[in-house]
Structure 1
Amino acid sequence: MHNHITVKIKFLPHSEPGENGLEYATSGSAGVDLKAWIQENEITLAPGQRHPFPAGVALEINEPSVAGFVFSRSGLGTKQGLVVSQGVGVIDPDYRGEIIVSLLNNSGEPKTVARGQRIAQLIFMPWFKARFEEVSELSRTSRGAGGFGHSGE
């Protein structure tokens, strides 16, 4: 069983709605692919270079406790070394601008991104707003203040 939310989508003038529809690749896909809707036919990123790629769409997430999260596509990251540069992008439910995907070339060679290429995946997930409570002490745990890697490999 899948949970569903309604998300309004606006195709921007430089995208191609017939080819840029956000669709799930399979019935079990968690994310929809975002595509590079650049004006050029292609853009080449040098090793270590970042570039912002417009996705050609803007969204209206009608669920205030849900945000869009932009993740790297596993194949593109693993095989090509092209990953979302900030790790994960967040699309707040009140954001109405174009989705921009910043890609980073982690490989040791130039990589080319073509117009319309699938560059990231968008997943909708719940989020929580914290109410911060200042205290003088935090509860104790078996880990305590052990740092990164403290609990094993």
Structure 2
Amino acid sequence: MEIKVKKLSITAKLPTRGSAYAAGYDLYADIAEPAEIPPHRTVMISTGLSMEIPEGYFGAIFARSGLAARESLRPANCVGVVDADYRGPFMIAVHNDGETARTVMPQERIAQMVVIPFLPVEFCEAEELSDTARGEGGFGSTGKQ
């Protein structure tokens, strides 16, 4: 699959994979100077890119596990969704879950994107639903004996 990417600045960096089998493509901070993120705050960081995600797919924006574990930085919405018809700049709302300020450096990897297919569905109202063994069992119900 080929995804068209438009660089919105000369310093923007195309997404990259960390290994041959990596599902996620790293997204980079396209900022002119370091950006400090205070504890429990969110800062919008540009990737400097726009993309053309193919119809039938979306770009899922996830945390980079090392950045989240070591620096307490993650996307503020936990998982971002970039729809196939969006053509604007990819901005990452980076949230600091830690107790100390963190700094995002120019060209630092700040998130990862996984391109995922989805099924368009139609919702139809129904008076009844089919029965299952689980039924209406909610949170934690499948772990009970």
TM range (shorter): over 0.9
Alignment of 1:2-151 (within 5 A): 5-13=1-9, 15-17=10-12, 20-39=13-32, 41-61=33-53, 63-151=54-142
Residues 22-77 of structure 1: CA distance to partner in whole angstroms, max 9, x if unpaired?
A: 222211111111011123x111111110111111100012x311111110000011
The Cα RMSD (Å) is: 1.4
Residue-pair matches, total: 144
How far apart in 2 are the matches of 1:151 and 1:8?
43
SS at match of 2:36: strand
Q: Which runs of 4+ in 1 moved over 6 A?
A: none
TM-score of the aligned structures, taking structure 2 as reference length:
0.93
Unaligned ranges ≥5, structure 1 = none
C-alpha deviation, 1:10, in angstroms: 0.5
Provide the identity percentage.
34
TM-score by length of 1: 0.88
Cα displacement (A) at 1:108: 1.5
